[in-house]
């Protein structure tokens, strides 16, 4: 039976609501100089657009902005989604489509920042003999079901006039899916960098299509628990400001920053630099444009509607979720105003 992320979220959201009633953790701690720091828990996983958070931690940028951040790296991206949906972190780094899946399951989440757009680092990689999407019919495709590369696969199938039932989907965590493909156990795989490096080691394999073929379809975000946003907007603003300060730090200290991010990714610095073209980091101006209403892929409300339609059509969600308040541009607007 196909596992649905939204259904799982719906179960655990109710459980965590009960547990939260007894949560009395302090929201502040003290820096070495006695200054109060706001405690925030933040999750992220293996994606080039999110590794700057590691730089923020190691360069002391969180502390500079008055934050005591419990930064958790999740080996499994799906685990990070569950952590936010169940209240185990205050915020998480995740895609728009995965956020919509969580919201459809009952989780209350707010997108407060666009980190980047995937422009090639999400890929469908295939074995020799598969030349076009239609050749996937009847083939076994390994993918982390219900997450971003599953969505990319669905986009490709739809464009080719195919249905999800036309392929044999093998649900595996992304790291395991890439390893299974490299070992010749499946015919194709959906993966994101750096796991694409593992998959492409299979002799004769190639990228059939990627997020570069669907510009704007896979934006990546800082997503916060909605209750946290409402109760602690000042701390959300500190996170946003820390993010932009981190990007400035990376620009001024490229070698040191790449070394930090490559180490977290488990790759060489040269390999990490190769990911740059496949991930487009968003400026403040890019964020303002993305959050503004519009009728093309540059605008999050348009992309969100497209995602809901596709998730409904393929059965990954059962009903269209209420997206009111999902997109919160308050904090990027404040960052823009501050210059």
- The ranges assigned to domains in the chain are 5-117+218-338, 122-213
Residue 168's SS3 state is strand
**pLDDT score for 118:** 95
Q: Rounded CA gap, 107 and 101, in Å?
A: 9
Contacts of 204 (CB under 8 A, 6+ apart): 127, 128
Q: Which CATH number fits domain 122-213: 3.40.710.10, 1.10.3230.20, 3.40.190.10, 3.30.70.1560?
A: 3.40.190.10
Instruction: Name 41's bridge partners.
Output: 70
Question: In the CATH hierarchy, which top-level class contains the domain 5-117+218-338?
Answer: alpha beta
Q: Does residue 155 contact residue 214 with C-beta atoms inside 8 Å?
A: yes
**pLDDT score for 313:** 84
Backbone angles phi, psi at 117, to 5 degrees: -115, 140
How many other CB atoms sit within 10 Å of the CB of residue 260?
Answer: 21
Instruction: Name 143's bridge partners.
Output: 171
When pLDDT is cut at 50, 70 and 90, the band that residue 314 belongs to is confident
Task: Kindly provide the b/e burial profile for residues 183-214, where b requires at least 16 CB atoms within 10 angstroms of the residue's own CB.
Answer: eeebbbbbbbbbbbbbbbebeebeebbbbebb
- Of residues 156 and 11, the one with the higher pLDDT is 156
Contacts of 248 (CB under 8 A, 6+ apart): none
Strands (E), the chain: 28-30, 36-45, 67-74, 91-95, 109-118, 122-126, 140-143, 168-171, 188-192, 206-210, 219-225, 279-281
**pLDDT score for 5:** 43
pTM of the model: 0.84
Counts of helices then strands in the chain (DSSP H, E): 15, 12
- Asked if the model's pLDDT at residue 2 lies above 80, the reply is no
Residue-wise pLDDT tens digits, 167-199: 999 999 999 999 999 999 999 999 999 999 999
In this predicted structure, which of 24-33, 69-78, 230-239 has the lowest mean pLDDT? 24-33
Q: Do domains 5-117+218-338 and 122-213 have the same CATH topology?
A: yes
């Amino acid at each position: 039976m196909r596992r649905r992320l939204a259904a799982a979220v719906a179960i655990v959201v109710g459980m965590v609501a009960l547990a939260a009633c007894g949560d009395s953790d302090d929201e502040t701690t003290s820096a070495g100089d006695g200054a109060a720091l706001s405690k925030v828990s933040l999750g992220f996983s293996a994606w080039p657009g999110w590794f700057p958070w590691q730089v923020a931690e190691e360069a002391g940028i969180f502390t500079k902005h008055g934050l005591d951040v419990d930064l958790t790296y999740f080996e499994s991206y799906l685990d990070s989604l569950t952590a936010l949906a169940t209240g185990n972190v205050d915020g998480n780094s995740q895609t728009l489509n995965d956020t919509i899946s969580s919201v459809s399951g009952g989780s209350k989440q707010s997108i407060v920042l666009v980190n980047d757009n995937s422009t090639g680092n999400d890929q469908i990689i295939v074995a020799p003999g598969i030349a076009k999407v239609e050749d996937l019919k009847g083939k076994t495709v390994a993918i982390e079901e219900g997450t971003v590369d599953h969505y990319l696969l669905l986009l490709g199938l739809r464009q080719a006039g195919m249905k999800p039932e036309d392929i044999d989907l093998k649900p595996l965590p992304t790291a395991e899916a890439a390893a299974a493909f490299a070992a010749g156990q499946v015919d194709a795989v959906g993966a994101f960098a750096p796991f694409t490096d593992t998959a492409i080691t299979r002799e004769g394999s190639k990228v059939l299509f990627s997020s570069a073929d669907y510009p704007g379809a896979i934006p990546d975000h800082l997503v916060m628990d909605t209750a946290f946003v409402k109760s602690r907007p000042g701390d959300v603003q500190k996170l946003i400001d820390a993010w932009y300060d981190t990007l400035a730090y990376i620009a001024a200290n490229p070698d040191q920053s790449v070394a930090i991010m490559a180490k977290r990714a488990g790759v060489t610095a040269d390999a990490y630099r190769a990911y740059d073209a496949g991930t487009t980091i968003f400026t403040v101006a890019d964020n303002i444009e993305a959050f503004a209403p519009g009728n093309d892929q540059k605008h999050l409300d348009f992309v969100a509607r497209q995602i809901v339609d596709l998730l409904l059509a393929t059965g990954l969600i059962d009903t269209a979720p209420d997206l009111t308040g999902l997109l919160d541009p308050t904090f990027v607007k404040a960052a823009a105003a501050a210059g």
